[in-house]
Structure 1
C-alpha cells in the first residue's frame, strides 16, 4: 500500500514494521509527530509508548528496554539531545543488547529552537553511528537498517532528520508486515555496570567498531558515487533532494557523492570519489561535517582536490538550504550561466512575528506580574514554551530565556548579585515537570528570595497539546495519576504558595504581590486552560463608553484588538471573550457582542 506521509509519519510506520517494542520521547518540534503517529496506529497496544517527563528519562527508559533484547526508540529534537547527552555518552560505552534508535530532529533556520546545532557532529562526539535521510521515503527505509546495525554492533544508532524531512510529504510504500523478533530478556552481566577500567576497554572496542562500520557504510545503499567529471559535488541530507532538482532542471552530468551515513564516514567510497575529481563543492546542513571528513581524507589522495563549502565561504554557515540557494552555488561552482529567475508578481508580505493567541491566559499572567511590580526594580526570567512570547511588546515580561528549566535557576543567579531586585521566574506546567523541580529545590535549600510563577494551562501547548504528568492522561489516551503542582512544590519545602486564575486579575495581582513581598522562595500557580482546548465565551465588543485612552491595546497587545477611527475595536472572529480587556478598561467600555456599539 502506498500512502502520502510526512517524514515523521514515514519514520513511525518504519518503526512499526520493524517490530519496535518500546517508544519514548518528549515533545519537541519538529520531531513530535513521530511518536504520536506510533501511538495512533498502535491499535492492539503491543508497542509500549509514552511521553516521558524529559529526554534524559526517555532515553534511559529506551536503554533499559534495549538491555532486555527489545527494539526501542527514543524521540526528541536537537536541544532535547542536550538533556539526554549524559546517559547517551555513557551508553555508547556500555552498549545495548537488542536494538535502539535515538531519533533526533534538527531545526535549521531555526524555526522553533534556541540553537541550530547539528546532531551529526554529536554522533561523532558520542562515537555512535548516524543516518541522515534525504527524503521521507529514505527515512522510512533507514529505520530497519538502523535497527539492524544497532543489533549487530550492540550500539544505539542516531537517526538524524531536519525540519524539511520531518514535515514534507512524500508517497511512501507500506508493507503492512511487522517483524516479530523474539525478546531474550535481561541477563545479569558485569557489562551493564560502567566502571573506569571497563570504559577504557570499551573505548578501544568502540574505535574498532567505527572502522568496521566505515567499511560497511562504504557499500551501503544509502551512500552512492555516480557520474564522471573533474568537478564533483558531495552532498548530505535534504540537500541531495534539492541538488537532484537542480541537476534535472539544468540538464547537468557530473560526479555526485551522496552521504546517507555521515558517521562513521564511508572512507573507501569517499576516497574513490576524491581520486576521480579535481574540485569538490560540499552541500550540507548545518555544520561542515562532510566537508571536514573529505578534507581529512583528501590528504591520502595522490593529487589533493580543492574542496569548497562552508569553511571556504562558498556556502552559508547558518540557516537551512533551498533549491534556489543550491542552484546559485552549483552554477557558480561550475561557472555556467544561472537561468534567469522569474520575477515574482507576489508583493513582499509584511513580517508576522509570533504572538500569544487571543485569550491566552499567559497574557493575563504576565500582566498581573507587571501590575504587581509597578514601581519596583524587577527582572523577569523566562523559559521555553508559548510563554516565551511574553518578551514582545507591550508585555515585555521575559527578560531572559536560555533553555528548559533555566528561568528558575537564572533568577537565583541574578538575585545573588542584585539582591535589591524582585526576581520572578516564569515556567510552564510541562516544563515544570521536565526540569523545573530541581531549581525549586535549590532555591529552598539555599533560601533564595525569588518568586516562581507556574503558568499551568494543563497541556504541553507549544508542541501541539501533548499530555504531561499534570494532565491525568497518557499519550495512549489512558487515565493516569494527576500530579498536583501545589503538593509537589509544598513537598519541596516552599512556605509561600499561592494559586490564582490569571483571568481574574484582582485575584492574580494579589497573589503575585503576596509572593513577591514574601522573604524567601515563593511560588504562584496560575491556573487556566490553554485557549485552544476550550470553547470560548461570547466575543466582547467596544461600546460607546470608550474614551479612547487605548489602555487595552497599549497594555495587552491582544491580536483580537485593533484601532478603528482612533479608538479600539474588536474582531469578533478572533475574540474568545476571556474578559481581560474589560478588567483593564478604566470606564467599563467592553460588553458582550450585540449589547451596543461594538466599534467594528
Structure 2
C-alpha cells in the first residue's frame, strides 16, 4: 500500500516553496504573483504587486480566490483592486507602470501588475492595451495580461481566439500548455515584460485554467538577460519622451527595439524549445499551448514511442511564445528538415510566421510547411472549435502518408473512428436553467403583445423559453439593437433586460444613449444583489436601488418604478427619489403595461435577491429563512401545470400516480420563492413552522462501526500509465468535489493526477462533468481531457448528464456505475407531458459497452434512507466503485482527501463507507432501510383492466354513491364488448375509456376538493414530509369570496387558516347535493360545463363503438383520450376545454372521411 502524505495541508499550495503541490489553474494564477515577489526579493528589489481586471469564464472564479487569499497576498505586498470593467482595470494597471515618471513620490522600486479578463473583455480593452503598451513598462514593473480564452464557447456566447487582438496591440503571446507552466511561463512573461518594456499576454483556456494537477515546484528561476545592445534610453517607459512632439518615436521604439528585445529574451531563456530531438533530421512538428498536449497524447494513441520517432526522424519543437515568433530558434530547428507540421488550434498564427521566416530560404533547403491544409490544399486541421488527440492522430496519418509507420497509424486511427451505434431519438438533454426561486423566473416575463431583448447574465437563459425575448448584444450594449431598429419597426416599444452587474460594468451608458435617441424602451434593471453567473460575487461598488434610481432620473429617463418581492422594505427608503414608483412584484405586469404606454425611456428596477445567494446566506444565518414551505395535495392537483407556468420553477416536479401525472415540490431544492402558489389551483397548502422530516437513522449509526470494520479489502487496481475516471452529474451536487477529492488523494500518494471540470452554466441545473486522470507520475499525463473510448471508470451520478459522455466509453475497457434516480429535466417546466427516457438512456450505456460492465445502483434512494439527504449520493457511488476495485487509490488517501476538503467531513466519509458496503453486500443495506427500489429500466407493469375499472368504481362510490359507480361500470363494459367483438380482444381502447370516463365523472367540485382535504391520507402525506409543530394555510379561490383581478383576468386566491379543515369536513358531507337543484355550486358555469362534458363523452364513446374498425382505431384512440387534455380549474380549465373541443372537431372530421370513402 502506498504511503500517504498526512502532513500535506491545503495552505501548502501557496506556501510550500519546493516539492509537489496540488493546484487548480486558478490557484496557480493566485500563487504566481507571490512567487514574483519572492523572486524580486531574492534579486534585491523592493517591489509590490497589483492585480486588476474583471471576472469572466474561464477566469470567473479568479477574483473569489484572490479575495480568499487576501491575507496571504498582503504578506507579499500584493493588492487586488477589481475593475468596474475590464478596460478600467487595465487603465489602473497602466497607472502603476508610471512609477518611474513619479519616481521621487514612489517608495517602491517598481510594481509588477496582472490584468485578467475573458476574451470579450480583452476585445473591449484593446485601446487601453495599445496605448499603455506603446508607452512601455517601468524598469522594475511589468504587466502580464491573463487572458481567458474560450476556444470552444464552453461558457461564452461565441468561441474566441485572442491571439490576433494581442498581436494588434504588439503584446507578446505566451501560451502555457499546463497548470505547471502557468507558474514557469508566468514568471518568464513578467521578466520579459520588464526587460523588453512590452506589455505581455498569457493565454489561459478552459482545459488549463479549469483543470487541477499535482505539480512540482522547483527553486526560483535565474533568468538570463540577453547580451544585446541596449539603447541609451533603455527599453522601458521613458519619462523624457515628449508627446505629441515625439509621438512617432513611440511606435519606432516599440517595433524596432522592444519586439527584438522580446525575441532575444525568449531565445536566451529557452521559451521555445526542442522537447524531442531525433538523431536524424527529417520531419519536424511545431506546437504551442494546449495543442502540444494533444499532440503528445496523439502520439501515444497511434503508438509512436520515442524509439519510433527516432527511427523515422521526427523531432518536436514546443513554442512558448506564439507571437511574435522568435526567429533564431525556429530556424535552427527547421534547418535540415524535409517537412514541418504545425499543430495549433483555431486560426493559424504560428504557421503564417514560420512561412514568413523561411520564405526566402533556397528551395533546396526550405522544408515544406504543412498546417491547416495538407499538400493538396485540403483541410487537415480545422480552424474552428477545439482539437482533440483524435483529430491530431488523423492529421498525423495523412502527414506521414508514405512513411514506414503509415500502416500503423492508419490502423490506430481506424480503430478510433469505428462507427458508434445509433442513438435513441428519445434521449433528452440536461440543459442549464434558472434556479428554483430565481428572480428571473418572474422578472423576464413581458406583457402580451410585447417583446424583449436579453442581456448578459444568468437571465440570458430566457432565450429559447418562449417568452418573446429573442435577441442579445455584447455586455453593455443592451437596448442598442432597438435604438437602431425602432424607426423601421411596426412595434412601438421594446423591453430590455439589464443585469445589475452589467449596469455597473457599462450598461448605464447604453441607457444614456437610449435617452439621447428618444426611442421608446423600458429597461428592466434586474437587481439581484450578486453576480450569480460566475459565482455570486458582489457587484463592484454595491450600488443600491436608490442610487440607481437617482442616476436614472439624472440621465433623463421619464419614469422609474421599483418592483420588489419585499416592497415594504422600501416604503420608507429615503435614498429612493420621491417620484420613484413602488410596487409589489405581483404588479409587474401592470407596471410593464403602463411603462409600455409611456413615450421615451423608462426604467423598472426589479429587486429580488438571487435565489442561490439567498440560499447561501440563509445557511450562514445572514438572511431570514421563512418558516414556511409549500405542499401540493396531489389528489386535488389536476396536473395542468399552471403552477409551472406562473413560477417557471424547477422545484415543481412530476409525480406519477394511479390518477395520472400530478405535481410535487422538491423540498430539497426549493428556495422558498412561493410564486408557484399563483397557479390557479386549490391544491397548494402553506406549511407554517415545523421542519422537513428526516428519517430516523439512529439504528444505522449504531451499526456503522461494526459494518465498516467487517468490510473486506477491495480488489486491488494498479496504475500502469493513465487511469481515467469520468464523473457526470448535475451542477451543484458535488460532481466537481469528487474530482478534487480523488485527484488530491492521488497527490497524497505521490502519484500524478489531474482533473478537468466542464461546467459552463451547469451550476444552473445543467450537466457537469469531471475528467480525472491518475498516473504513476505527473509526466505520464499529457492532457487532462479523456479521449474517446479511453475511460476506465464512468461514474454516472445522473443518467441524463452522463449520456453525452457515451463516446468516452471503450467497449471491453470501461466499467460504468450508474445512479438510477430519475431527476426531471428543466424542460418539464414548459412541456407538461415530457417523457423521461430512463429505459432508453440506460440501455445506451449497455449497448456502448457490455452488459456485465454496467452496474445500476439506486444510490440516491439509499442516500435518502441512510442519511436523510440525497447529497450523499455521489460519495456513495465513489465508495461503491472503490470497493469494486475500480479506483486505484487507498482508502487512507481518499479519507484524508475528504478531510482536507473540509466540507461535511464525517458525513462524506460515512457516505463513502456505506457505498463500499453497497458494493460488498447490497442486501445488507436494503434489509436495513427496509426497501428494495424498483429498476427504472424495467417496463412499468400495467394494472389489469378489471382491477383498473374496479379501482375507479370504488373511488366513484366514495365520490358520490354506488349507483354512480354502477353507471361507470356499465358504460365501460358496453364499450369493452364492442372492442372484443371488433378486434377479438379488449385492451388499449377500453383502458382509455375507463381512465377518461372516470376523470370526467369525478370532476373536482367544491365537495370533492373538501372530501380530498378531509381524507386522512392527506394528513398522512403531510406528516410523512414534515415534523414538528406546524400549521396550515389553504390557498383557495371560492367563487363567492374571490375578487376578479383586473390585471390577470383571474379570481385572486385567498389564504384560509387551519380552521378550514373543519369547513372541509362539513362541506364534504353535502356531496349528496351534487347535481341536484339544491346544489348552490351547480349553477356556476364551470359546474354546468363539467356535467355537459360527461354527457358529451358518453355520446363520443357510443360514436366510437359504432365506427370502430382497423382503419379508424388510431383516430378513435385520439378521440377517446381527449378528456386527458382537460385539466385544471376555472380559467385554466376553460382554456383547455376550448382547445380540446377544437381538436375534437378536427378528429371527428377525420373519423368520418374513411367512413364516407368506404360507403
1:33 aligns with 2:124: no
2:249 match: 201
Structure with the greater alpha carbon radius of gyration: 2
Map 1:197-236 onto structure 2 (within 5 A): 197-208=245-256, 209-225=258-274, 226-228=276-278, 229-236=281-288
Q: Distance between the aligned counterparts of 2:648 and 2:562, measured in 1? A: 25
2:171 match: 128
Map 1:509-524 onto structure 2 (within 5 A): 509-524=589-604
Any idea what SS the aligned residue of 2:605 has?
strand
Question: For the structure 1 residues 354 and 307, does the alpha-carbon distance in structure 2 shift closer, same or farther, using more than 3 Å as the test?
Answer: farther
Q: Give the one of 277, 289, 292 matched to 2:337.
A: 277
Q: Distance between the aligned counterparts of 1:574 and 1:338, measured in 2? A: 50
Q: Give the one of 24, 46, 52 matched to 1:6.
A: 24
Q: Distance between the aligned counterparts of 1:4 and 1:550, measured in 2? A: 48
Q: Give the one of 291, 307, 311 matched to 2:369.
A: 307
Any idea what SS the aligned residue of 2:473 has?
coil
Q: Distance between the aligned counterparts of 1:482 and 1:380, measured in 2? A: 22
1:24 aligns with 2:42: no
Shift of 1:165: 1.0
Give CA deviations for 1:329-379 in whole Å, capped at 9, x if unaligned. Answer: 323433323433498999897422221112111111113x2xxx21x2x33
2:638 match: 547
Question: For the structure 1 residues 67 and 588, does the alpha-carbon distance in structure 2 shift closer, same or farther, using more than 3 Å as the test?
Answer: farther
Q: Distance between the aligned counterparts of 1:345 and 1:580, measured in 2? A: 44
Question: For the structure 1 residues 557 and 329, does the alpha-carbon distance in structure 2 shift closer, same or farther, using more than 3 Å as the test?
Answer: farther
Shift of 1:470: 5.0
Q: TM-score, normalised by structure 1?
A: 0.88
1:333 match: 399
Question: For the structure 1 residues 568 and 392, does the alpha-carbon distance in structure 2 shift closer, same or farther, using more than 3 Å as the test?
Answer: farther
Q: Give the one of 247, 250, 259 matched to 2:299.
A: 247
Any idea what SS the aligned residue of 2:126 has?
helix
Deviates more, 1:315-324 or 1:564-573: 564-573
2:1086 match: none
Structure 2 contact 143–190 (Cα < 8 Å) conserved: yes
Structure 1 contact 456–525 (Cα < 8 Å) conserved: yes
Deviates more, 1:321-330 or 1:457-466: 321-330
Shift of 1:414: 2.4
1:586 aligns with 2:680: yes
Count of matched residue positions in the alignment of Structure 1 and Structure 2? 576
Question: For the structure 1 residues 588 and 489, does the alpha-carbon distance in structure 2 shift closer, same or farther, using more than 3 Å as the test?
Answer: farther
Deviates more, 1:383-392 or 1:405-414: 405-414
Map 1:174-189 onto structure 2 (within 5 A): 174=217, 189=239
Structure 2 contact 452–496 (Cα < 8 Å) conserved: yes
Q: Distance between the aligned counterparts of 1:287 and 1:515, measured in 2? A: 47
Q: Give the one of 295, 301, 321 matched to 2:355.
A: 295
1:138 aligns with 2:190: no
Q: Tell me, which stretches of 5 or more residues in structure 1 are unaligned?
A: 180-185, 473-480
Structure 1 contact 257–273 (Cα < 8 Å) conserved: yes
Structure 1 contact 414–423 (Cα < 8 Å) conserved: no
Give CA deviations for 1:221-256 in whole Å, capped at 9, x if unaligned. Answer: 331123234232211101212222333452141211
Deviates more, 1:546-555 or 1:308-317: 546-555
Question: For the structure 1 residues 24 and 483, does the alpha-carbon distance in structure 2 shift closer, same or farther, using more than 3 Å as the test?
Answer: farther
1:454 aligns with 2:525: yes
Question: For the structure 1 residues 338 and 559, does the alpha-carbon distance in structure 2 shift closer, same or farther, using more than 3 Å as the test?
Answer: farther
Shift of 1:54: 0.3
Structure ranking higher on relative contact order (CA contacts 8 Å, 6+ apart): 1
Any idea what SS the aligned residue of 2:369 has?
strand
**How much is the aligned-residue C-alpha RMSD, in angstroms?**
3.1
Structure 1 contact 275–301 (Cα < 8 Å) conserved: no
Shift of 1:10: 0.8
Give CA deviations for 1:278-336 in whole Å, capped at 9, x if unaligned. Answer: 22322222221112112222313333433333355111221122233323332343332
Q: Tell me, which stretches of 5 or more residues in structure 2 are unaligned?
A: 1-15, 38-47, 100-109, 223-235, 401-405, 567-583, 616-624, 693-1012, 1026-1159
Structure 2 contact 152–160 (Cα < 8 Å) conserved: no
Question: For the structure 1 residues 313 and 366, does the alpha-carbon distance in structure 2 shift closer, same or farther, using more than 3 Å as the test?
Answer: same
Shift of 1:389: 0.3
Q: Distance between the aligned counterparts of 2:484 and 2:57, measured in 1? A: 29
Deviates more, 1:38-47 or 1:69-78: 38-47
Question: For the structure 1 residues 313 and 8, does the alpha-carbon distance in structure 2 shift closer, same or farther, using more than 3 Å as the test?
Answer: same
Question: For the structure 1 residues 16 and 347, does the alpha-carbon distance in structure 2 shift closer, same or farther, using more than 3 Å as the test?
Answer: farther
Deviates more, 1:129-138 or 1:269-278: 269-278
Map 1:16-415 onto structure 2 (within 5 A): 16-19=34-37, 21-43=49-71, 45=74, 46-68=77-99, 69-97=110-138, 98-174=141-217, 189=239, 191=241, 195=244, 197-208=245-256, 209-225=258-274, 226-228=276-278, 229-249=281-301, 250=303, 251=305, 252-253=308-309, 254-303=314-363, 304-311=366-373, 312-334=378-400, 335=406, 336-339=409-412, 340-341=415-416, 350-367=428-445, 369=446, 373-374=447-448, 376=449, 378-394=450-466, 396-415=467-486
Structure 1 contact 499–511 (Cα < 8 Å) conserved: no
Shift of 1:176: 10
Question: For the structure 1 residues 188 and 94, does the alpha-carbon distance in structure 2 shift closer, same or farther, using more than 3 Å as the test?
Answer: closer
Shift of 1:556: 5.2
Q: TM-score, normalised by structure 2?
A: 0.47
Q: Distance between the aligned counterparts of 2:361 and 2:457, measured in 1? A: 50
1:571 match: 666
